Structure 1
Amino acid sequence: MGAADRRDGQPGAAGRAPAAGRPEKVRNVVLVGHSGAGKTTLVEALALTTGAVNRAGRVEDGGSLSDHDEIEQRQQRSVQLSLVPVEWDGIKINVLDTPGYADFVGELRAGLRAADAALFVVSAAQDGEGIGGPTRMVWDECAAVGMPRAVVVTHLESARAGIEETAAQFARELGGDDPDAVLPLYLPVHGPEGPDGHAPVTGLTGLLSQRVHDYSSGERVERDPDPELLPRLTEARNRLIEGIIAESEDETLMDRYLGGGDIDVDTLVADLERAVARGTFHPVVAAAPAADGARQGIGTVELLELVTGGFPTPLERPVPPVTTLDGERTTLSCDPGGPLAAEVVKTSSDPYVGRISLVRVFSGTLRPDETVHVSGHGMEDRGHEDHDVDERVGALTSPFGKHQRPVPSAVAGDLVCVAKLVRAETGDTLSGKDRPLLMEPWRMPDPLLPIAIEAHSKADEDKLSQGLARLVAEDPTMRLEQNQATRQVVLWCLGEAHADVALERLRSRYGVQVDAVPYKVSLRETFGEAATARGRHVKQSGGHGQFAICDIEVEPLPVGSGVEFVDKVVGGAVPRQFIPSVEKGVRAQAARGVVLGFPVVDIRVTLSDGKAHSVDSSDAAFQTAGALALREAAAACRIHLLEPVAEVGVMVPDAYVGPVMSDLSGRRGKVLGTEPAGPGRTLVRADVPEIEIGRYAVDLRSLSHGTGRFSRRYARHEPMPAALATRMRQQEEAERAG
Structure 2
Amino acid sequence: MGDKANAHPGAAGRATSADHPASVRNVVLVGHSGSGKTTLVEALALTAGAVNRAGRVEDGGTVSDYDEIEHRQQRSVQLSLVPVEWGDYKVNLLDTPGYADFVGELRAGLRAADAALFVVSAADGVDGATRMVWDECAAVGMPRAIVITHLESARADFTEMTRTCAQAFGADDPDAVLPLYLPLYGEQGPDGHAPVTGLIGLLSQRIFDYASGERKESEPGADQLPLIEEARNKLIEGIIAESEDESLMDRYLSGEDIDFKTLVDDLERAVTRGIFHPVLAAAPAAEGARQGIGTVELLELITGGFPTPLEHPAPAVTTPGGTARPALACDPSGPLVAEVVKTASDPYVGRISLVRVFSGTLYPDDTVHVSGHGLADRGHEDHDVDERVGALSSPFGKQQRGLTRCGAGDLACVAKLNRAETGDTLSGKDDPLLMEPWDMPDPLLPLAIQAHSKADEDKLSQGLSRLVAEDPTMRLEQNQDTHQVVLWCLGEAHADVALERLRSRYGVQVDVVPYKVSLRETFAGKAGGRGRHVKQSGGHGQYAICEIEVEPLPGGSGIEFVDKVVGGAVPRQFIPSVEKGVRAQAAKGVAAGYALIDVRITLLDGKAHSVDSSDAAFQTAGALALREAAADAKIHLLEPVAEVQVLVGDDHVGAVMSDLSGRRGRVVGTEQASGGRTLVRAEVPEIEIGRYAVDLRSLSQGTARFSRTYARHEPMPPQLSDRIREQAGDAS
TM-score bracket, shorter-length normalisation: over 0.9
Q: Does 1:248 align with 2:243?
A: yes
Q: 2:182 aligns with which of 187, 196, 203?
A: 187
Q: Does 1:271 align with 2:266?
A: yes
Partner of 1:262: 257
Partner of 1:86: 84
SS at match of 1:418: strand
Shift of 1:169: 1.4
Shift of 1:718: 0.8
Partner of 1:155: 150
Q: Does 1:732 align with 2:728?
A: yes
SS at match of 2:427: strand
Q: Does 1:292 align with 2:287?
A: yes
Q: 1:419 aligns with which of 415, 418, 439?
A: 415
Q: 1:201 aligns with which of 196, 200, 204?
A: 196
Please show how residues 454-465 of structure 1 align to structure 2 within 5 Å.
454-465=450-461
Partner of 1:12: 11
| Greater Cα offset, 116-125 or 54-63 | 54-63
CA contact (8 A) 1:34 1:138 kept: no
How many angstroms apart in 1 are the aligned matches of 2:154 and 2:652?
28
Shift of 1:612: 1.6
CA contact (8 A) 1:188 1:201 kept: yes
CA contact (8 A) 1:116 1:147 kept: yes
Partner of 1:40: 38
Please show how residues 390-401 of structure 1 align to structure 2 within 5 Å.
390-401=386-397
Shift of 1:136: 2.0
How many angstroms apart in 2 are the aligned matches of 1:557 and 1:404?
64
| Greater Cα offset, 137-146 or 601-610 | 137-146
Partner of 1:177: 172
CA contact (8 A) 2:54 2:288 kept: no
Please show how residues 556-567 of structure 1 align to structure 2 within 5 Å.
556-567=552-563
CA contact (8 A) 1:652 1:704 kept: yes
Unaligned regions of 5+ residues in structure 2, if any? none
Shift of 1:217: 1.3
Shift of 1:61: 4.4
Report the AA paired with residue 312 of structure 2: R
1:133-190: CA deviation from partner (whole Å, max 9, x where unpaired): 2332332343344321100000112153533322221222321221111100010101
SS at match of 1:583: helix
Q: 2:527 aligns with which of 528, 531, 540?
A: 531
Partner of 1:509: 505
Please show how residues 582-601 of structure 1 align to structure 2 within 5 Å.
582-601=578-597
Between the aligned residues of both structures, percent identity stands at: 78
Q: Does 1:327 align with 2:322?
A: yes
Partner of 2:714: 718
SS at match of 1:337: coil
Q: 2:487 aligns with which of 485, 491, 503?
A: 491
CA contact (8 A) 1:449 1:697 kept: yes
Report the AA paired with residue 315 of structure 1: L
Partner of 1:689: 685
Partner of 1:231: 226
1:67-105: CA deviation from partner (whole Å, max 9, x where unpaired): 231100100000000001000011001100000000000
Tell me the TM-score normalised to structure 1 length: 0.97
Q: 2:68 aligns with which of 49, 67, 70?
A: 70
CA contact (8 A) 1:426 1:476 kept: yes
How many angstroms apart in 1 are the aligned matches of 2:547 and 2:169?
71
How many angstroms apart in 1 are the aligned matches of 2:77 and 2:729?
41
Partner of 2:21: 23
Shift of 1:63: 4.5
1:322-362: CA deviation from partner (whole Å, max 9, x where unpaired): 00122221121100011100000000000000000000000
CA contact (8 A) 2:38 2:64 kept: no
Unaligned regions of 5+ residues in structure 1, if any? none
1:434-473: CA deviation from partner (whole Å, max 9, x where unpaired): 0000001101100010011111111111111111111000
1:389-446: CA deviation from partner (whole Å, max 9, x where unpaired): 0000000011111111100000000000000100000000000000000001101100
Shift of 1:227: 2.5
| Greater Cα offset, 268-277 or 433-442 | 268-277
Shift of 1:698: 0.6
| Greater Cα offset, 197-206 or 332-341 | 197-206
Q: 2:638 aligns with which of 642, 645, 653?
A: 642
Runs of 4+ in 1 over 4 A off after TM superposition: none
Please show how residues 213-232 of structure 1 align to structure 2 within 5 Å.
213-232=208-227
Count of aligned pairs between the two proteins: 731
Q: 2:103 aligns with which of 79, 102, 105?
A: 105
Q: 1:306 aligns with which of 296, 301, 306?
A: 301
Please show how residues 442-453 of structure 1 align to structure 2 within 5 Å.
442-453=438-449
CA contact (8 A) 1:45 1:297 kept: yes
Report the AA paired with residue 110 of structure 2: L
CA contact (8 A) 2:669 2:680 kept: yes
| CA 1:466–1:197: 2 relative to 1, 3 Å | farther
Shift of 1:627: 1.3
Please show how residues 541-690 of structure 1 align to structure 2 within 5 Å.
541-690=537-686
Partner of 1:346: 342
1:655-700: CA deviation from partner (whole Å, max 9, x where unpaired): 1111111111111110112111112111111101111111011111
CA contact (8 A) 1:444 1:477 kept: yes
How many angstroms apart in 2 are the aligned matches of 1:161 and 1:235?
21
Shift of 1:254: 0.9
SS at match of 1:5: coil
| CA 1:665–1:288: 2 relative to 1, 3 Å | same
CA contact (8 A) 1:192 1:200 kept: yes
CA contact (8 A) 2:183 2:196 kept: yes
CA contact (8 A) 2:12 2:50 kept: yes
CA contact (8 A) 2:178 2:235 kept: yes
Taking only aligned residues, the RMSD between alpha carbons, in angstroms, comes to: 1.3
How many angstroms apart in 1 are the aligned matches of 2:380 and 2:552?
39
How many angstroms apart in 2 are the aligned matches of 1:439 and 1:11?
36
CA contact (8 A) 2:39 2:284 kept: yes
Report the AA paired with residue 424 of structure 1: A
Report the AA paired with residue 605 of structure 1: I
SS at match of 2:175: coil
How many angstroms apart in 2 are the aligned matches of 1:520 and 1:198?
56
| Greater Cα offset, 494-503 or 559-568 | 559-568
Report the AA paired with residue 498 of structure 2: A
SS at match of 1:94: strand
Tell me the TM-score normalised to structure 2 length: 0.98
How many angstroms apart in 1 are the aligned matches of 2:616 and 2:390?
57
SS at match of 2:603: strand
Please show how residues 104-143 of structure 1 align to structure 2 within 5 Å.
104-127=102-125, 131-143=126-138
| CA 1:550–1:122: 2 relative to 1, 3 Å | same
| Greater Cα offset, 620-629 or 646-655 | 620-629
Shift of 1:512: 0.5
| Greater Cα offset, 116-125 or 565-574 | 565-574
How many angstroms apart in 1 are the aligned matches of 2:471 and 2:17?
29
Shift of 1:732: 2.5
Shift of 1:62: 4.3
CA contact (8 A) 2:592 2:724 kept: no
1:674-733: CA deviation from partner (whole Å, max 9, x where unpaired): 111112111111101111111011111111111111111110111000011111112222
| Greater Cα offset, 154-163 or 419-428 | 154-163
Partner of 1:386: 382
Report the AA paired with residue 248 of structure 1: S
How many angstroms apart in 2 are the aligned matches of 1:374 and 1:68?
27
SS at match of 1:729: helix
How many angstroms apart in 2 are the aligned matches of 1:441 and 1:397?
25
CA contact (8 A) 2:57 2:63 kept: no
